[in-house]
Structure 1
C-alpha cells in the first residue's frame, strides 16, 4: 500500500513563498513515504510547463504526486456560482493529471444556514455527476471526503455529518472514477463514530487521510458554539496531531480496511508546527508503516 504525505504544517509557508516546492519534496524524501499530496493553493495550474517541472522534481527525489487536495463549494444558492465551481474543479482535475496524479478531492460545500438539506444534496450530486465523466476522460478518480471545513470557508462542510454524507453517496451512481477519501478524525469532529462511518463506506473507500485530532483548551461543545458563530478557518482549539497519538483507534481502522481489500493511497495529514514538521511526519509514517505490516496491507 503506498503512503503519501500532505504538507499541512508547511502550507502557510508554501503559499506565502517562504518555502519552495522543492524544499518540501526534500523533506518528504527523507521520511518513509512514496509520494506527496498536492494542495490547490500551491498549484500553478495556469502553467503547464511548471507543472511538468514539479512532477519531474518530485520524481527526481523518488516521489510521485498521487493526490490533489481541492475544495469545491457546490452549495452556493446562485447557480452561476455553482457553475463556476464546477469549472474550477475541472481545472483541478486537469492539473492533477498533468502532475501524474490519479485522485482529486471533491467536497460538498459549505453548510449555509439558508440552504435546505434537500436543495444542498440535489445541487451537490448534480455537480459531482457532471464531473465524473470529465475526470474519467483524464483517468482521474474523484474522491469525496467526509470533510470538516476548508481553511477559507465561513461554515463547516454541508455533508459533514454521517447521515448527509451517506445520503449524498447514495445519490451518486457508483463508478470506477468516483469513491471516498476517508478521514477518521473528521468523523469525530462531526460527532460521529469514525469506525461506524468506515464500516458504512468501506467498499467505496479508495484513498484515506491518516489524521489524528485532539482538542486544546476546549471541548466539543465549545467547538459547536464556535461553528454556530461562523468565521473563516478552523477553531483554535482544534488541533491535528501525530498519527497514532490522538483520538483514533487505528487498529480498528486498519482491520476494516484490510477486510475490505483496500489497496489505495494513504496520505499523512498531521500538525501545524513547521518547526517539528519533519519529526512529526516521520513518527506518523513509522506508525502507519507498522500498522500496514501488522494488518497485511501491501
Structure 2
C-alpha cells in the first residue's frame, strides 16, 4: 500500500520567510496525523545551516515517522549559463540534504517560463541540467522527481513545463533509473488540461504523488489561464481545499496508479484552512488507499 506524508502548505511563509514558526512546531503538529512521513522543503529557514540537518531527521524519527521526499525548485531555464550552473550546484546540495534526512526522493523542476523561451530550447536547457545532477543523485541512492508544476510560491513566472506536451517531452528526454515523475493532479487544471489524460501519459514513470484539491473561488479556469503570466505566487482565483471535495477524481486517479503497480509515497499538500482540514484530508486519502490497495490477510 502507498504511504502518506504531509507538507506544511499552510505554514510556508512562516517557515521560509518571516521565521514566525519553527520546524519543531510543525513536526509536533504533523506527527499527530495518521501518516508515515513528513515531506520537507529545501527553503525552510532552519535548513540553511547544515549542522541542523541530522537533528531534524532525529526529531521526526523519534516519533516513528520518516522524511521521504524533498521539495525544491531549481530554475534550469534561465538563459545565462553561469546562473544555470549555480542552480545545478544548489540542486546537488538539496540532494545532499535529502540524503542527510534519510529521504529517497528529491524534486526537480524545469524552471520559469520566461518570455521568448521556445519549447525546444527550454526542454534542452532543463534536460541538460537535470541530466547533470543524476549521477550525483544516483551515488546517494536518491531519485530525482520532476513535477508537473504550476508555479513555485516565490517565482515570478509559471513553470516552463506546465503544459502537458512540454512536460511529457521533457520526461521522455530523460531515461535514467533514478529519474521519474512526481504527479500532481491539481496542477493540470491550472494548465487548462485534464489531469487524468496527463496521468495516463506518464503513469509508468510516476514515482511519487502530491495530493491536493483545488477550487475556483470565482470565475472559470479560462479566466485563470488568462491572468497567470507574470504574477508572483499563486493566482488569486485559486484555492487549496479539503481533499475529496474539489475538482479531482481520486477514484480515477487511484485506479490508474493501481493499474501500473504504483506503491509509493503520496504527500498531502493541504491544511491551508487549519490542521482540522488537513486531518480530514488524511482520513479521506487513508480510506481511498485501503479501498484500492486492500491489505489481505495471510492465511498459512
Could you state the TM-score of these two structures normalised by the residue count of structure 2?
0.95
Rate the CA distance shift 1:169–1:214 in 2: closer, same or farther, 3 A: same
Q: 1:196 and 1:297 mapped to 2: Cα distance? A: 26
- Of 278, 281, 286, the residue aligned with 1:284 is 281
Q: 1:221 and 1:178 mapped to 2: Cα distance? A: 33
1:135 aligns with 2:137: yes
| 1:25–1:61 CA contact under 8 A, matched in 2 | no
Rate the CA distance shift 1:36–1:104 in 2: closer, same or farther, 3 A: same
* Deviation of 1:116 (Å): 1.1
RMSD, matched Cα: 1.3
* Deviation of 1:205 (Å): 0.4
Runs of at least 5 residues in structure 1 that lack an aligned partner in the other structure: none
Point out the more displaced range, 212-221 or 32-41. Answer: 212-221
Matches within 5 A, 1:47-62: 47-62=49-64
Provide the aligned length of Structure 1 versus Structure 2.
293
Rate the CA distance shift 1:245–1:102 in 2: closer, same or farther, 3 A: same
Aligned to 1:96: 98
Q: Deviations over 1:43-77 (max 9, x none)?
A: 64453331000000111122111111100111111
Q: 1:297 and 1:35 mapped to 2: Cα distance? A: 20
Q: 2:154 and 2:28 mapped to 1: Cα distance? A: 28
| 2:34–2:282 CA contact under 8 A, matched in 1 | yes
Partner of 2:239, secondary structure, is strand
| 2:19–2:45 CA contact under 8 A, matched in 1 | no
Rate the CA distance shift 1:297–1:123 in 2: closer, same or farther, 3 A: farther
Q: 1:159 and 1:141 mapped to 2: Cα distance? A: 19
| 2:190–2:225 CA contact under 8 A, matched in 1 | no
Aligned to 2:107: 105
| 2:74–2:110 CA contact under 8 A, matched in 1 | yes
Matches within 5 A, 1:107-256: 107-173=109-175, 175-228=176-229, 230-256=230-256
| 1:239–1:271 CA contact under 8 A, matched in 2 | no
| 2:15–2:45 CA contact under 8 A, matched in 1 | no
* Deviation of 1:221 (Å): 2.3
* Deviation of 1:271 (Å): 3.9
Partner of 2:228, secondary structure, is helix
